[in-house]
Each structure stands twice: as C-alpha cells, then as structure tokens.
Amino acid sequence: MANYSEAHICQCLSRLSAAARHSTVTINGDRRKNGMQFVDGVMALVRGLLQLGINPGDVVSISALNSDLYLEWMLAITYIGGIAAPLNYRWSLEEAKSAMEVANPVLLVTDSSRGYWHSKFEIDSVPSLRWHVLMDVPVESNNNGTIFATELLKEPAGRFIELDYLWAPERAAVICFTSGTTGKPKGATISHSALIMQSLAKIAIVRYSEDDVYLHTAPLCHIGGISSAMAMLMAGGCHVIIPKFEANLAFEAIREYNVTSLITVPTMMADLISYNRTKQKSESFESVKKILNGGGGLSVELINNATKLFPRATIQSAYGMTEACSSLTFMTIYEPTKESRFVHVNDVQKSNLNCQGGVCVGKPAPHVELKISCDGSSNNIGRILMRGPHAMLRYWGQNGPRQSWLDTGDIGQIDDHGSLWLIGREKGRIKSGGENIFPEEVEGVLLQHPGISSIAVVGVPDSRLTEMVIACVRLNDSWRWDDFGAINHSEEYTKCVSSEILKRFCRQKNLTGFKIPKRFVLWKNAFPMTTTGKLRRDKVREDVLLSHTQFLSSKL
C-alpha cells in the first residue's frame, strides 16, 4: 500500500489547482495557462500514459526546448510512477543514443525544433523504445502506431478512474545526465525527496514565492533548470518560458512580464551585460529582485556590471552538482537593501579561520551535511564529502548499496564559521615543482582584476617543474593587452594589462609564489564549454600545449 505522506513532486499540483486556480502559472509565447488549466494538462497526459501502458519504474526520455509542455510532461511521467530522463537537445545523435542505451527508455518525447539530434532520430535505433511522441505537433500516428502527437495521447476526464500518484522503485523521479568534462555523461538518479528538499531550500534561501515571475533561462534538461522550476512550482509563482537562453529574448521577457527572478551562469550574465551595451540606450531592470548564479564564480567586473543592470536584485551564488540535485551551498554576494552591499566571494575575511586558500562558496543548505576527508593531513584540506536527502540514489544502472557519504570530487576546507572554501577539482590538479596547485584558486584571484572577464588556468609538461602553470585570459571591453609595451599609456588606452601586471596583482592578493602562472596567454575566442556551461579544461590544455610548444621553439 502506498504511503501518501511520503514526498512526491506532484504534491504541488493540489496547490496549483486551488490557490493558483485563476492565476497565471505559465506564459509560453502566446499561450497562457492558469493553475487549473496547467493541472488539467498534466492529468490528461497522466490518463493517456496509463492507457498507453506506462508502468511504475518505466523510463521516459524527453528531448526538447523549454516550454510549458515540457513541465507538464515531467510531472505526468512521475505522477504514474515513471522516471523522467531528460536528454540534452544539444548533444550529437551518438551521445543521445549512448545515454538512452544506459537509461533504456520505453518512450521518447521530442518537439518539432529542427537542427538538433532528435529531428533526425529513428526509433528503431534504440531497442528499448516502443513509442515516440511529438510534444507540440498535431499529427496523426504512423502506420505501426509508434509515433503520435501529445494531443492524440491525452485522454479527457471521465474515461478512467482518477488515480493518486504512484512511485517508481526507490522513489526515483528523474535520471539527470551529468555533462562530465571528460568521458561519457552518467545518469544521476534523483529521488522525489531530493527534488523537494532542494526546492524547499531554494524557497527558504532565495525566497521564491507565489508573487514571483520566474524566467526560465536554464534548460530543463539540466539539474539547475529542473530544481529551480520545481521550487517555483511548489511556491506557486508564474513561469515565463523562452525556448532557450538568448540575451535578446531574455531582455524582451523581463521587460514585457516584469520578471522578478532568474538564474544565471557567468556566461549568461556576461551575455546580458554585453547585449545591453550594444543598445542605443542601455537599460536597467528594477523588477528583478532575485538572481541565483551557479556554474562558477562571477568576476568583480561582472558583479559590478550586474548591479547596474539589475539594481534592486539580491545576487546569490550557489555551489553544487548534478549528483547533489543542484545546490549544496549558498552565499549572498550583493544585497541592495544593506548599507554594505557587496560581499565579494574572494574577499571574505580569513583572519583566525585557519583557511589556506580557495574561494568561499558559502554555507550549506539546512538539509546538507558536508565534511572534509583529509587523509591524515594536518591542514584540514581534503576531498569534500556530502550526505543528506538531496544526494542521488546512485548512477543509473549501477547496483549495490547506497553510499553513506558521496565524494564530490572537489578539494576544499571548512572554516571556523562553517563556510565552505572550494580549492579545486581533484582531476584538474597541477603538480608543479613538487607542489599541488588547483587552477580554480588561481582563477579566483585573477578574476578579481577588473580587466579580466574570464580565465582558464592549466598545466603543461615542463622538464624542470614537471608541470608549468599557464593562465589563459580574456579581457573585458575597453581593456588592452600590452605585453610588449607597445601602447602609449598617455593616450586613449589607459586600461592595460600585461603578464607582469597580472603577476604583480597575484602577489598583491597574497597568492603563494609557486601558484602564480609562469606564462599568460591572451585568449581571443570564447572558452570551450560543456553543454551545462562547465569549462572544458582538457580542450583548453590541448590548444595551450600546441601554442606553448611553438612558443618554446621560437625561443631556441
């Protein structure tokens, strides 16, 4: 017998159908739905999926751009005990097939967007698939009944006895694929409890409410987009949905609908600021009150410019990962209502805190336990472990008991006030002159320089040091690179940086000498990123290694 006191993400539907019965819940282009209409859409899909033969524990994959239909599908799948497995529409066809070979979905749901892998997908290429549903196209089913439209699937009320929601084994709700910077993506199995605990944390810390108008900037195939969407569904606010993030679309949506909250990663924030500069008259949006940034720290310059674009917004940063159902820690970096508005992440006082480097990423959410595995070291620096109801059940397809503590793969320390200091990824560690150097720590220091917009630090082989630290830097607008002293500083170019200036800046910020990059490289194009906005450090290293070899040859 089901225990209906247990967590289920569809518990939010009762509130939406009552408290938000006549309030606008979703805005998707010309299509608006109030709470009752949205819930009716979910329940029609529920009845159709039951009629189709979807059972508890069955996996249903989705590949589509963001839409209100996407949200309805996520809830309908889990309502009947299915497991939703979002797939990234930006993958290659081979990556998508590989992910489906792991998840073994019985049903694939896609939209009509062209130019992505799902527009050229054939159902016979994945043995587990029995059906393919087109989310947004009113087409008839094909001859063998395997491909049909959502509207043909939906069943009207009264055809079936109304059922309460069901659970998959182990209360699994979502398989969310990580965008690993190396290797194939793995599917983190996220429970209903994890999604609800993450949602409650964001409601408490970010302060989402029914008065919010939330702009979907993150794709719903990523845990950040999923978890924030769930938080807003639980809070009962309004969802403004654009197909995917583009700065011009975001501007239009914020302006037209008086958006109050959104989430960003540094590249999104940089794009918004850059787009604003291209306009004849720059704008500022006073309706926005809450911005949650993840996927890496914001530079000082980005924070300063963000506060001009969103002058009334509280800006918070979050550190997390897919395996943790999104955010582990939170930190406020700008609070417009306080006299001392700025709290730069890298300038938090370290006095008497026994901290030895890294970037402060704030304190854990109330439901999150963190500890440091120091391996006998006396400096309290080690691998960051986490535990709590937010943690994934396991990677999909793996057997065995669930681990008590989950290793994040990150290195850090916890100060005397309970704040976590992130030093870097274990996999990215550079060994130079017998010392361990974490690129993220060096990047965190250099990002405080007003001339730098983004940076990537890598290690390349060196006969004397084992590895040499090299920093690749991208400059902010109006700044110039002057490594050879070619610029006349008395003229218009007063904002200049060079290798020596940046080395001196590192020393002024008390970065340990062996961590200061030996070489700086001006990087003119965007850094290679994964589909979730993570730096592809391995690709940067490949390019740097080639240019560094040429640089050494020129010195011979």
pLDDT per position as a tens digit, 416-462: 899 999 888 888 888 887 777 888 889 989 999 999 988 999 998 88
pLDDT at 425: 80
Q: Looking at the chain, how many residues does it have?
A: 556
Extract the tokens encoding 464: 């004397």
The least confident of 72-86, 379-393, 524-538 is 524-538
Q: What's the confidence (pLDDT) of residue 363? A: 96
**Residue 235 falls inside a structural domain:** no
- Please say which residue of 143, 173, 189 terminates a domain: 189
Which residue has tokens 């539907």?
13
**Is residue 207 one of the residues assigned to a domain?**
no
How much is the pLDDT for 351?
Answer: 36
The answer to whether residue 471 sits within a structural domain is yes
553 pLDDT more than 80: no
Under 8 Å between Cβ of 200 and 234: yes
The boundaries of the domain holding residue 77 are 1-189
Confidence at residue 491, expressed as pLDDT on a 0 to 100 scale: 47
pLDDT of residue 354: 45
Other Cβ atoms less than 10 A from the Cβ of 160: the count is 13
β-pair partners for 430: 437
- Mean per-residue pLDDT of the chain: 87
Confidence of residue 353 (pLDDT cuts 50, 70, 90): very low
| 4 burial type by CB count under 10 A (0-12 exposed, 13-18 middle, 19+ buried) | exposed
Q: Of 61, 143, 71, which is closest to residue 97 (Cα–Cα)?
A: 61
- Name the domain boundary from 189, 218, 242: 189
Q: What is the CATH number for 474?
A: 3.30.300.30
Query: How far apart (Å, rounded) are the C-alpha atoms in residues 174 and 223?
Result: 10
d(CA 79, CA 165): 5
Find the mean pLDDT for residues 523-542.
Answer: 83
> For residue range 203-228, what is the model confidence (pLDDT) as tens digits?
999 999 999 999 999 999 999 999 99
Residue by residue, DSSP assigns 522-534 as E--SPPPB-TTS-
The structural domain count of the chain equals 2
Residue 339, in any domain of the structure: no
Q: Measured between alpha carbons, how far is 421 from 437 in angstroms, rounded to an integer?
A: 15
pLDDT tens-digit map of 67-99: 999 999 999 999 999 999 999 998 888 889 999
Within a domain: residue 451?
yes
Predicted confidence band of residue 138 (pLDDT cuts 50, 70, 90): low
pTM: 0.83
Q: Regarding predicted confidence, which is higher, 352 or 85?
A: 85
**CA-based nearest residue to 127, from 167, 100, 149:** 100
Q: Is residue 447 part of a domain?
A: yes
In a domain, 371, yes or no: no
532-542: buried (b, 16+ CB within 10 Å) or exposed (e) per residue? bbbbbbebbbe
Q: Is the pLDDT of residue 158 over 80?
A: no
Summarize the confidence of residues 399-405 as an average pLDDT.
80
Which of 189, 213, 231 corresponds to the end of one domain? 189
| 32 inside domain | yes
Q: How confident is the model at residue 350, as a pLDDT?
A: 42
CATH number reported for the structural domain that contains residue 171 in this entry:
3.40.50.12780
